[in-house]
């Protein structure tokens, strides 16, 4: 088929590669414009999809908006059978949704209608979900409200991080979308409306919610840390060399023990008491430093019981 692909981050790349490998004609890739990069922002960095499309010889388009009549006409002029959308980052107005013969199909990283919205992978882990998945959905003008065509379920392990789940879902979604396009081309793809019950929203992660609250349960703290790892990263403050510094917490495990919330207690280093139970910190990163395991971190940063907050 003639496909327009629309995506931006690394999460989208496996699907683009899978559709290209399947022999479809990718007539254009739409992606976010290059962003300022480097310490001074003097260079422009292309998105992972942009770089992949260029390597595959696919024309790339980077509009800042799709609301204008000229952009909508240019989209329709591609005369595509279908648009495939995976983490593109721009809202698609009605003329774009209707600008191909068969419509726009989205690869979404949750079991809809749970976790509609921007951060479904983070939110599923932060909420302690034990299962998520990828869904292929025909898009409408609502927020992830369209009918579902295909589903692939993925278990969430008790210590799995967002980074690990992200990679698993990216590959799962690529295979699922390739399968869906075969069925769409054959005219056998069935669409099922989403249920009205069980709707939740995966709001974009706000910086204000990334700090660890040690007064919560150990399981809640553990889910918070792994749900934000590796990006944007949960954090706390530690007294290092006499000064309080922000430290990212990028790995943790549930641990036995109890104590005043936020204090380091006896046990494997570094074990911090929570409101209920305790959490062992396994991977940490000071600002501007490398990610270190707990033992390596302590060799250069000794901590006392009251050096965490």
Q: Are the C-beta atoms of residues 141 and 205 closer than 8 Å to each other?
A: no
In three-state secondary structure terms, 120 is: helix
Cross-strand partners of 238? 245, 308
Q: From CA 246, how far away is CA 167, in angstroms rounded?
A: 28
Could you read off the pLDDT of 16-54 as tens digits, one per residue? 999 999 999 999 999 999 999 877 777 899 999 999 999
- Find out whether 112 is annotated in a ligand binding site: yes
Q: What is the mean pLDDT of residues 53-73?
A: 97
Which DSSP string do the residues of 124-177 spell out, in sequence order? HHHTT-SEEEEEEEE--SSSS-SPEEEEEEEE--TT--HHHHHHHHHHHHHHHH
Q: What is the CATH number of the domain that holds 138?
A: 3.40.50.170
Burial 268-302 (b: 16+ CB within 10 A, else e): eebbbbbbebbbbbbbbbbeeeebbebeebeeebe
Q: Could you report the per-residue pLDDT of 77-131, keeping only the tens digit for each?
A: 999 999 999 999 999 999 999 999 999 999 999 999 999 999 999 999 999 999 9
Q: Is 240 annotated as a binding residue?
A: no
Tell me how many domains the chain contains. 2
Tell me the sheet residues that pair with 154.
132
Task: Pick the last residue of a domain from 201, 222, 252.
Answer: 201
- CA-nearest of 72, 118, 63, 64 to 93 is 72
Which two structure tokens, joined as six digits, stand for 66? 């799709």
Residue that terminates a domain, selected from 150, 181, 201: 201
- pLDDT tens-digit profile of 164-174? 999 999 999 99
Q: Which of 179, 201, 223 corresponds to the end of one domain?
A: 201
The 10 Å Cβ neighbour count of residue 85 is 25
Please indicate, yes or no, if residue 268 is contained in any of the structural domains. Answer: yes
Same domain, yes or no: 124 and 247: no
What sign has the CA pseudo-torsion 23, 140, 50, 203? negative
Residue 266 lies in a domain: yes
111 is in an annotated binding site: yes
- pTM of the complete model: 0.95
Q: 89 and 145 share a domain?
A: yes
pLDDT of amino acid 267: 82
- The answer to whether position 87 is within a domain reads yes
Domain assignment present for 176:
yes
- Residue 66 CA to residue 76 CA, distance in Å, equals 12
CATH code at 261?
Answer: 3.10.25.10
In this structure, the answer to whether residues 187 and 223 fall within a common structural domain is no
Range of the domain at 292: 207-300
In-domain check, residue 111: yes
Examine residue 309 and state whether it is found in any structural domain, yes or no.
Answer: no
Instruction: Mark whether 188 and 233 lie in a shared domain.
Output: no
With a CB cutoff of 8 Å and minimum separation 6, the contacts of 259 are: 265, 273, 278
Asked if residue 184 belongs to a known ligand binding site, the reply is no
């Amino acid at each position: 088929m003639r496909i327009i692909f629309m995506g931006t981050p690394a999460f989208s790349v496996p699907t683009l590669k899978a559709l290209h490998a399947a022999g479809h004609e990718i007539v254009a890739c739409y992606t976010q414009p290059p962003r300022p990069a480097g310490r001074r922002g003097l260079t422009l960095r292309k998105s992972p999809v942009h770089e992949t499309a260029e390597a595959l010889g696919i024309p790339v388009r980077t509009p800042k908006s799709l609301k204008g009549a000229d952009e909508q006409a240019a989209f329709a002029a591609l005369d595509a059978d279908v648009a495939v959308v995976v983490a593109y980052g721009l809202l698609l107005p009605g003329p774009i949704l209707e600008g191909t013969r068969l419509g726009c199909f989205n690869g979404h990283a949750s079991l809809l209608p749970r976790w509609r919205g921007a951060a479904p992978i983070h939110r599923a882990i932060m909420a302690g979900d034990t299962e998520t998945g990828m869904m292929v959905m025909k898009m409408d003008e609502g927020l992830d409200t369209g009918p579902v065509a295909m589903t692939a379920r993925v278990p969430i392990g008790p210590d799995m991080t967002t980074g690990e789940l992200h990679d698993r879902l990216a590959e799962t979604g690529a295979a699922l979308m390739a399968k869906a396009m075969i069925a769409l081309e054959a005219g056998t793809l069935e669409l099922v409306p989403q249920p009205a019950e069980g709707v939740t929203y995966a709001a974009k992660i706000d910086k204000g919610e990334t700090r660890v609250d040690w007064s919560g349960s150990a399981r809640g703290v553990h889910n918070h840390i792994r749900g934000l790892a590796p990006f944007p990263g949960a954090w706390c403050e530690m007294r290092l060399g006499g000064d309080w510094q922000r430290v990212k917490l990028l790995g943790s495990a549930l641990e036995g023990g109890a104590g005043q919330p936020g204090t380091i207690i006896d046990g494997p280093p570094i074990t911090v008491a929570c409101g209920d139970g305790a959490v062992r910190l396994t991977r940490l990163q000071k600002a501007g430093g490398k990610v270190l395991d707990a033992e390596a971190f302590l060799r250069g940063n000794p901590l006392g019981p009251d050096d965490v907050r």
